[in-house]
C-alpha cells in the first residue's frame, strides 16, 4: 500500500503510462480499460500501475469523495469476473487523506506475466499519457514479450502439430469472435498464425499450435494428449469392486466435450419431493446439478494435462467422486484452499470464460458448496494428494 507522501506524489504528477486519475466513481469501462492498460505495461517498465479514483486529472487535487466498501468490492471483482482476460493481479484499497480532503480509492495493478491482456476483446495500452487500443505492431510486441517468458504447459508448443490438425472454422467462427471485439476483427489483416499467437494458441518461434489450441480445436486431441478425457463410471454400490452399471468417455475438443458433459450432468441426478410443511412440498436432488457442474469445470480447468491419467468421474450409491490428475498448483495449499487460486492452465481457464462455461474465476468451489447447501446436501469433501486432487460429493440423505 502507498504511504500518504507516495500517494500525494502520484496525485501531483502528470498522467503517465503508470498513473490514471479520475473523479468518477461509476465509469466502470474507464476503470477496466486503465487496469487492462497497466497490466499490459507497454513500456515494459516492470512497474506497478495506479488508478486513483477521487482525484481530478487536471489539477491533481482530491475531490472530497467518500469511498464505500461497495466500490472497493467492485474494483477487486475485476480480477476475477472474466471481463479482463487473462485475469489481472491487482489490489484495491481506500486512503483517507489526513488533510481532510476526502478519500482516494487506489487500485494497484501489476504487469501481466502473459500479455497481451484484453478488455472486451481489445488490447488496451498506455504509452506515456496516451491511452488507447494497441495496433498490430504494438500487439505483436506484447505477444513476443510473452513468448520470451517461461510458459505453462498449455502455452507451450505442441511439437509436430500443424494448423491442418485443427478445426480452424471453430477457432475463426466461434472462439475468435467471442474473444476479440468485432471492430478489432474488422481491422485485423494479420495472418491467422499471428492472430492465434496473440491468444496464446500458436507458437511463432516453433511454428506450431500450442497445447491449448490442441485441447480447444484439434480434430483429434487424443492423438497429441492421449489422456485429455473424462472417464465416467456408475457403480451400483459403495465400492469399485461392484460390476459397473454404466461406463462412458467424454473426449474430443473441449467445446464439444463440455457441451456433452453439460447435457449429461443435467439429467444425471434424480429428484424426489420433500415435505416443507403440511400443505407444501419442495423438490430436491440426490446430487445438486449445479454443484456437479462447477466441480467438473474446476477439474477441467486445473488438471495436469501432462499427466498420464484422465479425469475420473465416478458415481456410487452414496456419493460422487471426481479425481483430477495433478495436485494443488502454485500458491494454492490445503490451508488456503479454496480462497487462493493459481492457474496451472491459464489459456484453458480463459477459454472456459470466453466460451461461457464459467462466470467468475476462482469461485467454482464456493458456488458448488452453496448449491449443495441450497439443496440440503452435506458439503463436498476434498482430498489433497501428492499427484492428484479429489472431491467427494455426498448424496443428500
319-328: b or e for each residue (b if 16 or more CB lie within 10 Å)? Answer: bbbbbbbbbb
Of 185, 177, 188, nearest to 137 (Cα)? 188
What are the grid coordinates assigned to 285, written together? 436432488
Where are the extended beta strands (E) located within the chain? 19-22, 49-53, 84-85, 90-96, 103-109, 118-119, 124-127, 130-133, 202-203, 208-209, 230-234, 246-250, 271-277, 280-285, 311-315, 319-325, 381-384, 388-394
Residues contacting residue 165 through CB under 8 Å, at least 6 positions apart:
209, 214, 218, 219, 220, 223, 224
What does CATH list as the number for 4-131?
3.30.950.30
Cα distance between residue 138 and residue 179, in whole Å:
18
Could you tell me if 331 and 343 are in contact, meaning their C-beta atoms sit under 8 angstroms apart? Answer: no
Handedness of CA 47, 53, 58, 62 (dihedral sign): negative
Helix (H, G, I), strand (E, B) or coil at 103: strand
Strands 246-250 and 271-277, how do they pair? unpaired
Cα distances from 17 to residues 9, 14, 23, 105, 385, in angstroms, run 15, 10, 18, 19, 44
What CATH fold (topology level) applies to the domain 230-394? Heat Shock Protein 90 (3.30.565)
Could you tell me if 50 and 56 are in contact, meaning their C-beta atoms sit under 8 angstroms apart? Answer: no
Q: Which helix (H) or strand (E) holds 319?
A: strand 319-325
Tens of pLDDT, residues 361-371: 678 899 999 99
CA dihedral 347, 350, 355, 361 (to 10 degrees): 150
Average the pLDDT over each of 18-27, 120-129, 197-206 and give the range with the smallest value. 120-129
Tens of pLDDT, residues 166-178: 999 999 999 999 9
pLDDT of 22 > 70? The answer is: yes
Cα distance between residue 45 and residue 136, in whole Å:
21
Output the pLDDT for position 330.
Answer: 84
Phi-psi region of 60 (alpha: psi -120 to 50; beta: other; left: phi over 0): left
Structure confidence at residue 130 as a pLDDT band (50, 70, 90): confident
pLDDT of 360 > 70? The answer is: no
Output the pLDDT for position 229.
Answer: 97
Structure confidence at residue 148 as a pLDDT band (50, 70, 90): low
Tens of pLDDT, residues 69-90: 999 999 999 988 889 998 899 9
User: Residue ranges per domain, the chain?
Assistant: 4-131, 151-223, 230-394
Amino acid at each position: 500500500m502507498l504511504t500518504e507522501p507516495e500517494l500525494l506524489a502520484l496525485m501531483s504528477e502528470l498522467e503517465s503510462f503508470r498513473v490514471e486519475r479520475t473523479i468518477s466513481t461509476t465509469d466502470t469501462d474507464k476503470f477496466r480499460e486503465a487496469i487492462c492498460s497497466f497490466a499490459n505495461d507497454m513500456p515494459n517498465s516492470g512497474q506497478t500501475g495506479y488508478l486513483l479514483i477521487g482525484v481530478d486529472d487536471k489539477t491533481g487535487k482530491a475531490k472530497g469523495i467518500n469511498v464505500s466498501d461497495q466500490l472497493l468490492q467492485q474494483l477487486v471483482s475485476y480480477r476475477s469476473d472474466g471481463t479482463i482476460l487473462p485475469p489481472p493481479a491487482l489490489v484495491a484499497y481506500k486512503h483517507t487523506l489526513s488533510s481532510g480532503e476526502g478519500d482516494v480509492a487506489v487500485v494497484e495493478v501489476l504487469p501481466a506475466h502473459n500479455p497481451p491482456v484484453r478488455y472486451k476483446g481489445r488490447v488496451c495500452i498506455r504509452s506515456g499519457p496516451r491511452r488507447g487500443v494497441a495496433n498490430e505492431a504494438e500487439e505483436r510486441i506484447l505477444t513476443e514479450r510473452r513468448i520470451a517468458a517461461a510458459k505453462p504447459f498449455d502455452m507451450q508448443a505442441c511439437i509436430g502439430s500443424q494448423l491442418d490438425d485443427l478445426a480452424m472454422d471453430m477457432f475463426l467462427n466461434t472462439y475468435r469472435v467471442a474473444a476479440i471485439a468485432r471492430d478489432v476483427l474488422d481491422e485485423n489483416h494479420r495472418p491467422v498464425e499471428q492472430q492465434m499467437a496473440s491468444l496464446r494458441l500458436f507458437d511463432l518461434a516453433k511454428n506450431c499450435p500450442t497445447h491449448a489450441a490442441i485441447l480447444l480445436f484439434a480434430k483429434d486431441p487424443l492423438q497429441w494428449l492421449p489422456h485429455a478425457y473424462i472417464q465416467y463410471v456408475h457403480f451400483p454400490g459403495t465400492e469399485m469392486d461392484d460390476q459397473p452399471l454404466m461406463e462412458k468417455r467424454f473426449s474430443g475438443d473441449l467445446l464439444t466435450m463440455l457441451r456433452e458433459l453439460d447435457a449429461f450432468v443435467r439429467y444425471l441426478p434424480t429428484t424426489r419431493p420433500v415435505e416443507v410443511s403440511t400443505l407444501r412440498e419442495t423438490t430436491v436432488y440426490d446430487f445438486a446439478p449445479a454443484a456437479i457442474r462447477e466441480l467438473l469445470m474446476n477439474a477441467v480447468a486445473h488438471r495436469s494435462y501432462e499427466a498420464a491419467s484422465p479425469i475420473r468421474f465416478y458415481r456410487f450409491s452414496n456419493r460422487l467422486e471426481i479425481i483430477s490428475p495433478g495436485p494443488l498448483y502454485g500458491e494454492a495449499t490445503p490451508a488456503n484452499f479454496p480462497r487462493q487460486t493459481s492457474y496451472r492452465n491459464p489459456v484453458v481457464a480463459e477459454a472456459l470464460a470466453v466460451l461461457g462455461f464459467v462466470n467468475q474465476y476462482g469461485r467454482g468451489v464456493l458456488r458448488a458448496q452453496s448449491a449443495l447447501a441450497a439443496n440440503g446436501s452435506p458439503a463436498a469433501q476434498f482430498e489433497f494428494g501428492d499427484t492428484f486432487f479429489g472431491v467427494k460429493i455426498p448424496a443428500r440423505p
